[in-house]
Structure 1
């Protein structure tokens, strides 16, 4: 049975992604800062007959927490096939480049960029044991420098979240470098925007969470001919889904 780890998976898009991976036959580890909330998420999945799942305490901003999660999963799983780096924060208001505080920028980057690097590096050796390892970094179209600087883009006048957008642009660059460094291996590494989705993160505005989950899971399931080191947003670009960096 293939295994997957989804960070920030006790609710929202992360929870839905975990659910859909379970439906695809994976054994899924739900990573969450609050283990009790993770266990509640597992219980909800169990009520739907999805039992190959367990919660793991995992704070992506805490090296000791990440190391403990790696050790716990390593004791139970011979390898890790899929890593979904989903955990992320917006940083909160004020959102503008002029008003957002340095502390906001530090907090957002610590979770959305450094946290991804921390988790990826910790689990890379376990993933190297998988036949077809896949990494999906959950990004956002607001991290596209090309789109954000294009006055013709529909979100040009309202999609300005300085700390969050900057962190996702940095995450995209990390994705490019990671994919490059793993280019001659079985790994596939991509950045995926799930779209503006109705969750706590958006104040319950946006599209349905099932669609967002499918957009992520799609790139966890790609075969050896699938893309590597690319950026996808099916909401922004229906069809191929690929959008500019």
Structure 2
């Protein structure tokens, strides 16, 4: 979490690098199911049907990952842009705080001078005191404007985060994306990991089916390649 000493709070929380890393992870290629060659019969037909279903599921999973990666890339870009804006506001706030301290000192010194001044000097001292007060008040109002801009930025940032989460949940509901909660990265990965685990279980089951259904007990040709891809290493 960034330390915004000028603003006093973080208006754009988030870890863009972690989100980008998640996007890269989601974009990784999923192994392609092999085709069955030089193998026929009832077992081959049954496996071919299973493979077609598996291919459809893997295609959907691949689309899910790519769609999720795109949304995460958008979120990472929003985090970076909002954090740059937050840094600009924080620098301005720090400068205004320094100027306010100096202005407060000037108000104090001119007020003291006006209290002890007499004659024509009193009029001049009072004018200096009034000018110092005006400058102090102008700086205070500007600092309030900067803080309000930071609060508006925080509100916008959280609204974008909610929209990202809604897009991920919507794709999950459509069978095209994993459920997630920003910025909890453990939950963010959860839906995709569950999908991939399902594919792994299916792969192991299919490999086992191939081994059981062949007459020799060991698959050959395309079946062997399939079993090797998904079987024990």
Q: Shorter-chain TM-score category?
A: under 0.3
**Larger relative contact order (CA 8 Å, sep ≥ 6):** 2
Structure whose residues are more often helix by fraction: 2
Structure whose residues are more often strand by fraction: 1
Calculate the TM-score normalised by the size of structure 2. 0.26
Calculate the TM-score normalised by the size of structure 1. 0.25
